[in-house]
Structure 1
Amino acid sequence: MHAGRLAELLGRWSSGSEALYLKLAARLEALIERGEIPADGRLPTERALAAELAVSRNTAVAAYDVLRDHGVVERRRGSGTFVRRPPRPGRGVIAEFNPMFLHLLDPVPDLIDLTCAAPPQPACLPEVVAEAALGDFGIGYHPSGLPALRQAIAGFYAAQGLPTDPGQIVVTSGAQQAISLLTQLFLRPGDAVVVEELTYPGALDAFRGSGARVLGVPLTAEGVSVPGLAEVVAGAKLVYLVPAFQNPTGSVLPSHAARRVVALCESHGVPLVDDQVLADLTLDGPRPAPLARHGGGVISVGSLSKLIWGGVRIGWVRADPRTAADLARLKAVADLGTDVVAQAVGVALFARLDRLRTERQCELRERRDQVVRDLRSALPSWEFRTPPGGQTLWIRLPGVDSRRFAQFALRYGVALLEGTSLAAHESSSEHIRVPFTLPREALSEAVRRLRRAWENYPGANGGELALSGAAAAGDGDGHATFPAERDDEPAGRDSPVPPGREHLR
């Protein structure tokens, strides 16, 4: 197994006060027990793993020694270290998931989590829940969605100059389910799906989980490259884009480019999905128009999760009536319909949408401006631009592997989402995504912790990766170097692919 892939599986192994080698050994043993590291699988060399995790080689050696003492692994002369113990019976290998979701599955006390960008519970929640409880929902099964909510969503699009019939709307349990249902409808194993080279990780997980081939198109300062899209669209079964406050770069696709994108997809008969989840989070200037304004075949995905609150789990798809009917059938098989009380809450939230949207935009604007000031003052070498909307900054760490820095930052109490988690083809290894959704005090503390981590990170100033100071606590090796991956280490799935060139494989 390649060291980079193992680092992804390890997740937040280094949080806590126990010695690093013991924490590393415990997490490795848990992965082996679950079958996520296969029996008889070869582990990375100690040097390779140490380099990937930004620890001393002594830490990796000591962790492997613990595993050997427990009978979990064995060293084979001239071949390396291999897993001996099979996974516990009755368990399959757990499917891959993105590091973005780790905070939900593996919460850590006193950790400032910058991996997920989401708003807090709204103050009006008790009021809207009480209002929702007064409804009459019949037998409660509404695969396409509660009629009142579909009507409210149709009105939401009509207000944007996009006349919509409620029959074009399918309500889903968040935008993630909307993307999953679209994946089921349009993609089969081996089919090509086109995305921006950097995009929403949940979409990448859905597409890869279906067995589809993900084709990444390069991004410009204004969003997806139209010439790049033209190179790959002909052979695709689906195109998925985030043109409004693009996740993670924050770019906005201009109207002239949007028209060309829609025309390209229509001319090749390829369904185009416009993820509009972030479109209402405009902080400077007008709201970007939906792509469906430029063509009737565009499929729009929306959600209340980023604008209001993710706990309600209300998303939707706007599509032509035939596609909407097909999605409703898939939705019925999946769960017979989104929770009807949550949908009633959604109706009450739409009735307050203008006020809630204004409040959310003001809050995000203040927090964005604060974190931009703090970062430019505390970490002047970090490179980023101020986005006109959305809820995150896309930051380049010059000359630094962001995955290794993210491992290091955990020891200072900050969890980061490194760039390759959002990349179609292992690009953006120097980038991190930082949200400005937390309370202002938490954002200030996060910047302080990141500054301390950066000041102590061995490679931050282009120097040799050498562990020292507080970051070495528990290692027992204050100045051990972290060599790069060995040339003879197999690359596996983590081999980098040039952006936008997947179609040449």
Structure 2
Amino acid sequence: MSGSLSPAALARLLGRWHIGASPAYRELADVVRLLVLDGRIPLGTALPSERTLSDTLAVSRTTVTAAYASLREQGFLSSGQGSRGRTCLPRSSDQAAGAGPGAEAGAGLSGAPGLAVPEGVIDLAYASLPASGEVVHRAFASALTELPALLPGFGYDALGVPSLREAIAARYSAIGVPTAPGQILVTSGAQHALNIVLRAMVGKQDKVLVEQPTYPNALDAIRAQGCRMVPVALPPAPETGWDLDAVETALMQQRPKLAYMVPDFHNPTGRLMPDAQRRRLVRAAAASGTVLVADETLRELNLDGGTAAPLAAFSPAVVSIGSLSKSHWAGLRTGWIRASESLIQRFAGARTTMDLGGPVVEQLAAAHLVRALDEPLPARRAALRESRTALLELIAAHLPEWQAERPEGGLAVWCRLPSASSTALTVIAPDFGIRLAAGPRFGVGGVFENHLRVPFTLPPDKLEQAVRALRSAQDRLDAAPQLRRTLRESPAAAIA
């Protein structure tokens, strides 16, 4: 369960809800329904009582009673004791047949097929770049010259090759977070790092706070650990930043053991959390006894020059996760955890139940890349800025009804689709030569059906081909709206 929503908090989310286009109860029900579908009101949240909400909104109790009744009829509000029902989604025919109302959209997708796609298909499910060519090649060439000195050893090191840990620690120190090598554990990518943290710090039924939307593979990892997720919605565009009032409320009400956050060019929205919000977040987590885990995988992909200190600069208790996958190449499979030395030892103990250490040559190469981390970044950022501009212009030209949020950094654009089902688009997309990741994969409980993440990691000509394919796919849906009712689930698909 996701706690309760006060009348004042719901009124703030509703905004100017009564415009007189239809009866007040219907407008109230419609706005609440959209807030649930957008993930702004988490599933399982108890709505205010009819009396308190009618007082706060200055409407009759009959209006609120009728709105709640409409939401129950539509399947968006459970029948609760008295008038305090909890938000939910209408059950599909699969659930009615026995899948159970707790089954989540996307919950069965973690066992996805391999990452390869058929030749000629443009892959928009990955937000990832090809290798920074010569830079990566040169790093591996240097690593091979250093390898002979390590060959007499056993080759196992749960903490990581010392030279790489030293380089990562020096990088943190240079950006204002003093760090010793003993505070670094090298992992096989950021996903591996998150799994280690979860294995060490949470157990089944423990609560983990997550942003709504957030990175699908993180949700899969938290779900696989048997945790209960506490989703907190980001404000919808054109608003920016995070809803810290909602975060603080969730932390104090739910007391989650851990909070997984992506404050640096958030995936999928591309937002950058301001320093003032970072301070509030750290204070709120400390007050609730929650460990903050900051995923910094996209931190180096700053496209607009915005600045913010790493979350760990505001508290030594923050656990930071980083990686070279997005900035340099996913094929490196090199990531890390930065935390206190005592936590690093705890993480190392948890790691040995999963593996005994990473490949040595890759770590030697990664040490060279981290020491010269900025070398390929200016050219990569310039290319990404060009592709971001191209994608936004293409969406405006070919899909003008879509609302695309302009990202401050990262690798993708988060789009709201007023008249399309992202699951249905995902199902028919291969017919038009593209592969997509449906919006519900980025949230908890099947929300974001009317959202789609579109990466701008391809060159402009490929992006034009992809957007034209999206236009054709939506035209097909518009011509056959029954597809939205019959195509209930997108096929299992890997997402990066």
Fold match (TM-score > 0.5):
yes
Query: Among 172, 176, 186, which residue is 1:161 paired with?
Result: 176
* Distance in 2 of aligned mates of 1:80 and 1:337: 45
* Distance in 2 of aligned mates of 1:400 and 1:416: 14
* Distance in 2 of aligned mates of 1:163 and 1:425: 39
In the other structure, the counterpart of 1:203 is: 218
* Distance in 2 of aligned mates of 1:484 and 1:451: 20
Pick closer, same or farther for the CA change 1:485–1:127 going to 2, 3 Å. closer
* Distance in 2 of aligned mates of 1:482 and 1:451: 16
Question: Does the residue aligned with 2:402 lie in a helix, a strand or coil?
Answer: coil
Normalized against structure 2, the TM-score is what?
0.72
Larger mean Cα displacement after TM superposition, 260-269 or 399-408: 399-408
Question: Does the residue aligned with 1:358 lie in a helix, a strand or coil?
Answer: helix
Shift in Å at residue 372 of structure 1? 1.2
In the alignment, structure 2 segments of 5+ residues that lack a partner are 1-91, 100-106, 490-496
Contact 1:196 1:224 in 2 (8 A): no
Question: Does the residue aligned with 2:457 lie in a helix, a strand or coil?
Answer: coil
Shift in Å at residue 485 of structure 1? 6.6
Pick closer, same or farther for the CA change 1:483–1:309 going to 2, 3 Å. closer
Query: Among 418, 428, 435, which residue is 2:438 paired with?
Result: 418
Contact 2:306 2:408 in 1 (8 A): no
Query: Among 127, 134, 137, which residue is 1:126 paired with?
Result: 137
Query: Among 266, 273, 276, which residue is 1:246 paired with?
Result: 266
- The C-alpha deviation readout for 1:453-502, integer Å capped at 9, x for no partner, is 2223236xxxx61xxxxxxxxxxxxxxx548379xx9x9xxxxxxxxxxx
RMSD: 2.5
Pick closer, same or farther for the CA change 1:342–1:97 going to 2, 3 Å. farther
Shift in Å at residue 107 of structure 1? 2.3
In the other structure, the counterpart of 1:352 is: 372
In the other structure, the counterpart of 1:275 is: 295
Question: Does the residue aligned with 1:417 lie in a helix, a strand or coil?
Answer: coil
Query: Among 151, 155, 167, which residue is 1:140 paired with?
Result: 155
Shift in Å at residue 222 of structure 1? 3.1
- Matched residues, percent identical? 36
* Distance in 2 of aligned mates of 1:265 and 1:386: 29
Contact 2:189 2:325 in 1 (8 A): yes
- The C-alpha deviation readout for 1:169-217, integer Å capped at 9, x for no partner, is 0000000000000110111111100000111111101110011001101
Normalized against structure 1, the TM-score is what?
0.71
For residues 210-289 of structure 1, what are the structure 2 equivalents within 5 Å? 210-220=225-235, 221-234=239-252, 235-289=255-309
Larger mean Cα displacement after TM superposition, 195-204 or 371-380: 371-380
In the alignment, structure 1 segments of 5+ residues that lack a partner are 1-46, 50-78, 83-94, 466-480, 492-505
Q: Tell me the matched-pair count.
A: 380
For residues 313-352 of structure 1, what are the structure 2 equivalents within 5 Å? 313-352=333-372
Pick closer, same or farther for the CA change 1:80–1:241 going to 2, 3 Å. closer
In the other structure, the counterpart of 2:384 is: 364
* Distance in 2 of aligned mates of 1:440 and 1:338: 36
- The C-alpha deviation readout for 1:342-372, integer Å capped at 9, x for no partner, is 1011012123311112222112111111111
In the other structure, the counterpart of 1:182 is: 197
* Distance in 2 of aligned mates of 1:451 and 1:352: 42
* Distance in 1 of aligned mates of 2:311 and 2:98: 52
Contact 1:48 1:485 in 2 (8 A): no
- The C-alpha deviation readout for 1:198-246, integer Å capped at 9, x for no partner, is 1111110111001100110111233332121222224211011011111
* Distance in 1 of aligned mates of 2:98 and 2:251: 44
The letter for the 2-side match of 1:191 is D
* Distance in 2 of aligned mates of 1:248 and 1:171: 25
Shift in Å at residue 81 of structure 1? 13
- The C-alpha deviation readout for 1:101-129, integer Å capped at 9, x for no partner, is 5461x522211110011110221232221
Question: Does the residue aligned with 2:331 lie in a helix, a strand or coil?
Answer: helix
Query: Among 191, 201, 209, which residue is 2:206 paired with?
Result: 191
* Distance in 1 of aligned mates of 2:350 and 2:170: 25
1:116 counterpart = 2:117: no
Query: Among 139, 152, 177, which residue is 2:167 paired with?
Result: 152
Contact 1:305 1:313 in 2 (8 A): yes
Query: Among 357, 380, 399, which residue is 2:400 paired with?
Result: 380
- The C-alpha deviation readout for 1:401-426, integer Å capped at 9, x for no partner, is 21112212221011111210010232
Pick closer, same or farther for the CA change 1:283–1:416 going to 2, 3 Å. same
* Distance in 2 of aligned mates of 1:350 and 1:184: 27
